[in-house]
């Protein structure tokens, strides 16, 4: 016992050196590079391999795709002949559609050390994980690759003073976590009515590429306290044939047969009502649906699983989709800019079915969400749905073992502590915050107080 106690710091030190040494050395061999937002040439420090290409014979520069810049424009600038450009675009088609190249993404150009007049490779990165290699040496080759994504478990906790968003921001954690929490606890916590003093603790996956954070993965476990009532959530996948989902500490599912909204990021712009002033028709009439406003093109998801019974266009509804869930329930989604499902198709809860638009009778981009119960249109926000199946008894032992570890870690987290995440994570989210903020629904930002005045029976 005594020996162990003395040995422990040494073991920790050894592990620390081992991991540190690995990180230090691997940085030389990894395809780590500096990603810059500047559109100008930036010389890349020489590394052994980049995008799977041995770097020794090449000089490389990273550029950023500028607005409306196409692959052919990029290649033209590099003095590639027009006939060659056409061949490149054609060969690229099965791997990557060059029209999908978008501004702000980066590409790297490799030129031979001995002949800088020609490009040897062009590598385009549609995101931080995937890349497309255009091998332009003699015979043309186009192929796709992926960088290795490391997932590390991070923890964050906080006491809510203003909004959930602000609290996460204070802790330098991603605002994406607010969206995930709202999804997990959609039926348990009323996010419209958060009070000062409510708190949360979360364990989640953070993804990294070459040591740089690229985004959050899923929440592994969480506790959310609202009005001194604690709600626990544990992600658990019983076996590989079943989808993982969130359960409370008793193994009861937090999921219901329907989601609360057909959009992840949205705000309710008009509720179901028997009488409202119609903004387009300019008269009072019943509104048998719930309107969710969101930017044009926002993905619309099926609130429950079922079969698509209509996917069509009509002058009033615009592009719309109707789903029959069972003999009791049917849902409909109107005014889509584009539909992403066909009649007869089976869809599962959360599956993409179309994109927000303003087709048909609509003033601005939104989804009119309609809900039928036994053939009668009802207010979707006022329906009670029982939780879905709890964990099967044969998985209970594994579940309990899994959550006891998670619980222990959550117990040690103190919501009053400010966690010190690494400066990289800090900078990353500082930047992303700006982009995420306008995507977040008002209730997570705590800025639209009228939504806080929703009826008490909203839940
Ligand atoms: Zn509507």
pLDDT (tens digit per residue) in 114-155:
888 889 999 999 988 999 999 999 889 999 999 999 999 989
Q: How far is CA 342 from CA 206, 290, 301, 331, in A?
A: 35, 23, 14, 15
Distance 325 CA to ligand 1 centre (A): 21
Distance 451 CA to ligand 1 centre (A): 17
Note whether 292 and 263 are within 8 A (CB).
yes
Domains of the chain: 42-146 (3.10.450.350), 150-256+389-458 (3.10.450.350), 267-382 (2.70.70.10)
pLDDT digits (tens, 9 = 90+) for 305-349: 999 999 999 999 999 999 999 999 999 999 999 999 999 999 999
pLDDT, average across residues 339-361: 95
| pLDDT at residue number 261 | 86
Distance 441 CA to ligand 1 centre (A): 18
Three-class secondary structure of residue 221 per DSSP: strand
| pLDDT at residue number 459 | 27
Distance 388 CA to ligand 1 centre (A): 28
Residue bearing the bigger pLDDT, 317 or 448: 317
Query: Both tokens of residue 85?
Result: 């450009």
For residue 29, name the pLDDT band (cuts at 50, 70, 90): very low
Query: Both tokens of residue 248?
Result: 């409370």
Distance 317 CA to ligand 1 centre (A): 9
Total length of the chain: 459
Distance 369 CA to ligand 1 centre (A): 7
pLDDT digits (tens, 9 = 90+) for 7-27: 655 555 555 555 444 444 444
Q: How far is CA 248 from CA 154, 233, 274, in A?
A: 20, 5, 37
Note whether 47 and 31 are within 8 A (CB).
yes
| pLDDT at residue number 430 | 55
Distance 291 CA to ligand 1 centre (A): 5
For residue 279, name the pLDDT band (cuts at 50, 70, 90): low
Q: Is the pLDDT of residue 167 over 90?
A: no
DSSP for 101-163 reads --TT-EEEEEEESS-TTSEEEEEEESSSSEEEEEE-SSS-EEEEEEPPPEEEEEEEEEE-SS-
Distance 368 CA to ligand 1 centre (A): 4
Distance 140 CA to ligand 1 centre (A): 53
Distance 260 CA to ligand 1 centre (A): 16
Distance 361 CA to ligand 1 centre (A): 9
CB proximity list for 324: less than 8 A, separation 6 or greater: 306, 307, 309, 330
Note whether 188 and 387 are within 8 A (CB).
no
Note whether 362 and 309 are within 8 A (CB).
no
What is the distance between the alpha carbons of residues 88 and 81, in angstroms, rounded to a whole number?
Answer: 11
Q: Please, what is the Cα angle at 267 between 452 and 451, to 5 degrees?
A: 15
| pLDDT at residue number 424 | 61
pLDDT, average across residues 33-37: 40
| pLDDT at residue number 376 | 93
Range scoring the smallest mean pLDDT among 35-39, 373-377, 407-411, 434-438: 35-39
For residue 281, name the pLDDT band (cuts at 50, 70, 90): low
| pLDDT at residue number 270 | 75
**R_g of the chain computed on alpha carbons:** 26
Distance 318 CA to ligand 1 centre (A): 12
CB proximity list for 225: less than 8 A, separation 6 or greater: 198, 199, 200, 231
Distance 269 CA to ligand 1 centre (A): 9
For residue 386, name the pLDDT band (cuts at 50, 70, 90): confident
Q: Is the pLDDT of residue 415 over 60?
A: yes
Note whether 161 and 145 are within 8 A (CB).
no
Distance 286 CA to ligand 1 centre (A): 10
| pLDDT at residue number 24 | 45
Burial class (CB within 10 angstroms; exposed 0-12, middle 13-18, buried 19+) of 14: exposed
pLDDT digits (tens, 9 = 90+) for 176-199: 888 889 889 988 887 777 888 999
Range scoring the smallest mean pLDDT among 27-31, 286-290, 437-441: 27-31
Distance 258 CA to ligand 1 centre (A): 19
What is the distance between the alpha carbons of residues 78 and 136, in angstroms, rounded to a whole number?
Answer: 12
Distance 358 CA to ligand 1 centre (A): 11
Distance 439 CA to ligand 1 centre (A): 21
Query: Both tokens of residue 432?
Result: 């992303």
What is the distance between the alpha carbons of residues 261 and 378, in angstroms, rounded to a whole number?
Answer: 15
Distance 324 CA to ligand 1 centre (A): 19
CA max distance for the chain: 83
Note whether 345 and 307 are within 8 A (CB).
yes
For residue 163, name the pLDDT band (cuts at 50, 70, 90): confident
Distance 444 CA to ligand 1 centre (A): 23
pLDDT digits (tens, 9 = 90+) for 60-102: 999 999 988 999 999 999 899 999 999 999 999 999 998 889 8
pLDDT digits (tens, 9 = 90+) for 228-248: 899 999 999 988 888 899 999
Distance 304 CA to ligand 1 centre (A): 19
Give residue 82's Cα distance to chain centre.
Answer: 39
């Amino acid at each position: 016992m005594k020996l162990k106690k003395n040995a422990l710091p040494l073991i920790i030190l050894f592990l620390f050196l081992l991991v540190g040494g690995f990180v230090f050395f691997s940085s030389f061999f990894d395809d780590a590079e500096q990603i810059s937002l500047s559109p100008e040439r930036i010389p890349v420090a020489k590394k052994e391999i980049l995008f799977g290409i041995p770097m020794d014979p090449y000089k490389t520069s990273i550029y950023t795709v500028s607005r409306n810049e196409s692959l052919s424009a990029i290649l033209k600038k590099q003095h590639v002949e027009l006939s060659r450009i056409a061949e490149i675009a054609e060969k690229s088609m099965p791997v990557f559609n060059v029209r999908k190249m978008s501004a702000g993404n980066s590409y790297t150009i490799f030129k031979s050390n001995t002949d800088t007049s020609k490009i040897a490779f062009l590598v385009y990165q549609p995101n931080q994980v995937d890349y497309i290699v255009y091998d332009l040496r003699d015979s043309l080759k186009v192929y796709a690759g992926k960088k290795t994504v490391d997932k590390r478990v991070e923890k964050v906790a906080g006491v809510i003073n203003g909004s959930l968003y602000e609290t996460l921001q204070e802790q330098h954690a991603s605002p994406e976590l607010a969206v995930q929490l709202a999804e997990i606890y959609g039926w348990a916590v009323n996010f419209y009515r958060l009070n000062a003093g409510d708190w949360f603790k979360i364990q989640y996956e953070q993804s990294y590429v070459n040591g740089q954070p690229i985004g959050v993965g899923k929440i592994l476990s969480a506790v959310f306290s609202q009005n001194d009532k604690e709600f626990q959530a544990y992600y658990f996948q019983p076996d590989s044939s079943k989808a993982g989902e969130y359960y409370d500490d008793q193994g009861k599912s937090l999921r219901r047969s329907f989601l609360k909204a057909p959009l992840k990021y949205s705000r309710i712009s008009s509720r179901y009502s028997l009488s409202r002033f119609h903004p387009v028709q300019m008269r009072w009439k019943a509104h048998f649906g719930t309107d969710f406003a969101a930017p044009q093109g926002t993905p619309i998801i099926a609130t429950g699983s079922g079969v698509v019974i209509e996917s069509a266009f009509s002058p009033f509804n615009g592009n719309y989709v109707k789903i029959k869930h069972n003999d009791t329930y049917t849902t409909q989604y109107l005014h889509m800019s584009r539909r992403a499902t066909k009649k007869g198709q089976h869809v599962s809860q959360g599956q993409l079915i179309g994109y927000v638009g303003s087709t048909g009778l609509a003033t601005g981009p939104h989804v009119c969400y309609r809900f039928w119960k036994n053939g009668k249109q009802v207010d979707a926000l006022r329906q009670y749905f029982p939780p879905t199946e709890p964990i099967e008894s044969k998985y209970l032992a594994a579940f309990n073992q899994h959550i006891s570890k998670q619980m222990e870690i959550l117990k040690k987290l103190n919501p009053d502590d400010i966690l010190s995440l690494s400066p990289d994570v800090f900078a990353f989210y500082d930047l992303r915050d700006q982009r995420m903020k306008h995507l977040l629904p008002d209730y997570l930002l705590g800025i639209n107080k009228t939504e806080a005045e929703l009826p008490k029976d909203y839940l």
